[in-house]
Amino acid sequence: MSDEHAFTLRQVDQARGDFYAIADDIEFLKAQLARLRKELARLTLLATLTGSALVLAGIELLFR
């Protein structure tokens, strides 16, 4: 095996620290995305219900 690809313990330790930092950032992004997805679902439901209520109110006004 060639020594040009051998890493020192310090390099391995730094790479491990970088890996954990990236993993923490990914977990943070996952949490933010889940929160955003939940908010978007709530807003979509609210818009659908509001639109339905307006349509029903319009139909009631037409037949009176």
pLDDT band (50, 70, 90) for residue 4 = confident
Both tokens of 32, joined, read 């933010």
Q: What is the pTM (predicted TM-score) of this model?
A: 0.65
HSE-up (13 A, CA, CB side) for residue 23: 6
Rounded to whole angstroms, how far apart are CA atoms 17 and 24? Answer: 11
Q: Give the pLDDT confidence of 26-40 residue by residue, as tens digits.
A: 999 999 999 999 999
Q: How far out from the chain centre does Cα 34 lie?
A: 4
* C-alpha separations of 64 from 36, 50, 55, 60 in Å: 42, 21, 15, 7
Instruction: Give the CA angle between residues 5, 17, 10 to the nearest 5°.
Output: 45
